[in-house]
Amino acid sequence: MTTSPTNRNILISGASVAGPALAYWLHRYGFTPTIVERAPALRDGGHAVDFRGEAHLTVLRRMGILDAVEAARTRMGATWYVNSAGKRLAGMPADLFAGDVEILRGDLARILYDATAQHTEYIFGDSITAMREDGDGVHVTFEHAPPRRFDLVIGADGIHSKVRSLAFGPESRYFKHLGLHCAIFTTPNHLGLQYTALAYSTPGKLVSIYSARHNTEAKAVLWFASPSTDYHRHDIARQKEILADTFRGNGWESDPLLVAMWDSPDFYFDAIGQVHMDTWTTGRTALLGDAAYSPSPLSGMGSGLALVGAYILAGELATTHGDHRTAFPAYEQQMRGYAQKCMKMGEGVSKFMVPQSRAMAWFLRQNYKLMPYLPGKSLMAKGARKTAESISLKPYTL
């Protein structure tokens, strides 16, 4: 960027994928990003996330982190459906669904943090409590830090975004529950899995375990069908109790996993849903990633979408020398169709992933057995790649 931008001081809420990716680009364009993250330290944990197609890989390459992401790829092989005795019933090779690069969310967050920590002020263990906008900035108050002024505020704080609730109103207006909850935690690889996932399905529940970090540990992922539950989002003990009540006596590895869960170094639990909004920006505030357009984990698109969104939002701010009145509509205009297509990938998936009846579970298992041999077997992976590539990225060479 040749001239110094206006609106230089930008506060970003959330240090997972979208926030640090945005900070990376903002710094490159001459802005000064600050990130506030509610967790006391960078959050590890979470499932594997996929990048697929040229758009995702191009952003990673332009950020200079593609090699690091590839070095940390999971190299995951087949997923096997098992019965209650652990007998393998049907196997699905990884290439049926996988993207070009799969990486654990926690590893990705670490790479993004390392790429930004030197030139980004990170404030951990804090949260915005109020924002008051006036003619030339936003007065922000925090739970702990003293109040500060910023030129712009970006909410990259996930599906339960605080910035969204402050600037756009309550979550209930935007969050669409998809009928499932999901818990993910790290556990010892006690089954000795080698780049493999096992999955055990009972009506309305799915338990899966896969080896991670080159088989040195495993991830347990427990899905269950449930309406929007009234649990406290920050009450992890309560969330673990809900999980224990739901899966106790469910068979296969359910009970041992429920025991291991209490000692796990990380624990992620959330309702599975999407965020639908007519607009993602207002005044000097914009939303990014899951906060604005979460396609849900069922889509396999959340991290790629967040990364592309960060690239475009920062690029438009740079092009307009920080004029948010022009940059924000341009960001919305470029992202809208793409985000909608990515969201479609997450719709209707839950009933296949977690079938509610025995008959449906049986029917799907027969299909899984046949799937590797069907001529259209890679249609899903191809469809996902086509969607992920359905955006052309401006070069933003400033």
Interface contacts to ligand FAD, rule CB under 6 A: 13-19, 36-39, 43, 45-47, 49, 105, 127, 156-158, 162, 184, 268, 289-291, 297, 302-303, 306
Q: How far is the CB of 29 from ligand FAD (least distance, A)?
A: 20
Beta 285-287 vs 152-155: how paired, if at all?
Answer: parallel
Pick 49 or 90: Cβ nearer ligand FAD: 49
Give the list of residues 6+ apart from residue 302 with CB closer than 8 angstroms, or none.
17, 49, 289, 290, 294, 295, 296
Pick 46 or 322: Cβ nearer ligand FAD: 46
Q: How far is the CB of 14 from ligand FAD (least distance, A)?
A: 3
Q: Which residues pair with 197 in a beta bridge?
A: 79, 210
Pick 87 or 234: Cβ nearer ligand FAD: 234
Pick 102 or 316: Cβ nearer ligand FAD: 102
Pick from 146, 150, 122: which is nearest to 138 by CA?
150
Pick 5 or 299: Cβ nearer ligand FAD: 299
Helices (H), the chain: 18-28, 53-62, 66-71, 105-116, 162-168, 236-247, 254-261, 290-293, 302-319, 324-344, 350-353, 358-370, 379-388
Q: How far is the CB of 100 from ligand FAD (least distance, A)?
A: 16
Pick 5 or 53: Cβ nearer ligand FAD: 53
Pick 56 or 162: Cβ nearer ligand FAD: 162
Task: Give the Cβ contact number of residue 376 at 10 Å.
Answer: 8
Pick 151 or 290: Cβ nearer ligand FAD: 290
Place of tokens 């092009």: 319
Pick 49 or 65: Cβ nearer ligand FAD: 49
Place of tokens 């890679």: 378
Calpha distance 388→52 (Å, rounded): 6
Calpha distance 271→231 (Å, rounded): 10
Q: How far is the CB of 154 from ligand FAD (least distance, A)?
A: 11
The dihedral through the CA atoms of 7, 9, 13, 19 has a sign that is positive
Q: How far is the CB of 234 from ligand FAD (least distance, A)?
A: 9
- Ramachandran angles phi, psi of 155, nearest 5°: -90, 105
Residue ranges with strand state E in 38-100: 48-51, 79-82, 88-92
Pick 19 or 315: Cβ nearer ligand FAD: 19
- Ramachandran angles phi, psi of 175, nearest 5°: -90, 125
Calpha distance 321→182 (Å, rounded): 42
Tokens of 137: 């900035």
Q: Which residues pair with 133 in a beta bridge?
A: 138
Q: Which residues pair with 16 in a beta bridge?
A: none
Dihedral, CA atoms, 325, 330, 332, 336, nearest 10 degrees?
Answer: 170
